[in-house]
């Protein structure tokens, strides 16, 4: 029995074959990025490149799909590679267990990549991924902040310039307006006002990051099959 039979019934063989031939880069494998990867793996994406330097911590258990008792202390990237291949043994998975900075982003982007999903939480890296995507006309989507929020129904896929209530989006708007004034950038952003931060650790639950990741993956999924 074909593991992607139900998907093919939904979109047809031609579009399923497009997904099988697609290469998607995912930056960041946390609460958002994990659900991006889970969704793409279960959509039959043929090649995935994953970038994350972090290990799985017990405090990730409340929101990260890869964080279970048996993976605590293990590499996120390695654990995700194992999970993807368990979902789809035919997938090709490349991992980079590195800390991206504004100076090394392009070193880890294969020009053959069909799409980039930014699920990282470092502002300067997000800016560099946007610069690369816009300069190279690369299909991409950026996910803005999901911590300090509780309502997943307030998440939307929208143009960056239409965002509000999000400090990360505010900084990205400034950069894009200055450097790429005529270009549009799609993001996943919440219209919910974030709660006031009163602790060093960012408060978060599973609901908002998981839905943000699924929305980002769905946007790329639809673009790859031409919808």
What are the pLDDT digits (tens) for 167-192? 999 999 999 999 999 999 999 999 99
Closest CA to 35 of 216, 190, 157: 216
Q: Confirm if 57 and 72 have CB atoms less than 8 A apart.
A: yes
Mean residue pLDDT of the chain comes to 97
Sequence-distant (6+) residues with CB within 8 A of 184 are: 159, 160, 161
Residues 46-73: pLDDT tens digits?
999 999 999 999 999 999 999 999 999 9
131 CB neighbour count, 10 Å cutoff: 17
Q: What is the pLDDT of residues 192-208, one digit of tens each?
A: 999 988 888 899 999 99
Across the chain, how many H-helices and E-strands are there?
A: 7, 7
- pLDDT recorded at residue 223: 98
Position 61 scores a pLDDT of 98
Tens of pLDDT along 14-50?
A: 999 999 999 999 999 999 999 999 999 999 999 999 9
CA angle 116, 118, 120 (to 5 degrees): 150
155 closest CA partner among 31, 24, 44, 55: 31
Which pLDDT does position 166 carry in this prediction?
Answer: 93
* Residue 1's pLDDT band (cuts 50, 70, 90): confident
State the Cα–Cα distance between residues 227 and 220, nearest whole angstrom.
Answer: 10
Contact 207, 215 (CB under 8 A): no
The average pLDDT across 130-139 equals 98
Which tokens belong to 137?
């006309």
Q: Tens digits of per-residue pLDDT, 76-121? A: 999 999 999 999 999 999 999 999 999 999 999 999 999 999 999 9
The number of residues making up the chain comes to 227
pLDDT of residue 200: 86
pLDDT at 47 (0 to 100): 98
pLDDT of residue 46: 98
Q: Please report, rounded to a whole number, the percentage of residues in the chain having pLDDT higher than 70.
A: 100
């Amino acid at each position: 029995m074909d593991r992607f039979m139900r998907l093919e019934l939904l979109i047809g063989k031609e579009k399923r074959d497009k997904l099988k031939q697609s290469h998607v880069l995912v930056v960041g494998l946390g609460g958002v990025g994990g659900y991006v990867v889970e969704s793409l793996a279960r959509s039959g994406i043929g090649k995935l490149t994953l970038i994350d330097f972090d290990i799985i911590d017990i405090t990730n258990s409340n929101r990260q799909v890869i964080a279970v008792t048996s993976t605590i202390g293990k590499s996120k990237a390695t654990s995700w590679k194992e999970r993807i291949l368990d979902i789809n043994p035919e997938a090709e998975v490349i991992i980079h267990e590195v800390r991206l900075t504004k100076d090394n982003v392009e070193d880890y982007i294969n020009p053959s990549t069909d799409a980039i999903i930014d699920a990282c939480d470092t502002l300067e890296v997000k800016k560099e991924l946007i610069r690369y995507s816009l300069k190279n006309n690369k299909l991409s989507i950026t996910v803005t902040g999901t911590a300090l929020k509780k309502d997943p129904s307030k998440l939307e896929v929208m143009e960056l310039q239409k965002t509000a209530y999000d400090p990360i989006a505010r900084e990205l708007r400034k950069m894009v307006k200055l450097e790429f004034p005529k270009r549009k950038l799609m993001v996943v952003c919440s219209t919910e006002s974030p709660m006031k931060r009163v602790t060093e650790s960012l408060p978060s639950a599973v609901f908002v990051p998981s839905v943000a990741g699924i929305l980002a993956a769905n946007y790329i999924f639809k673009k790859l099959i031409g919808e």
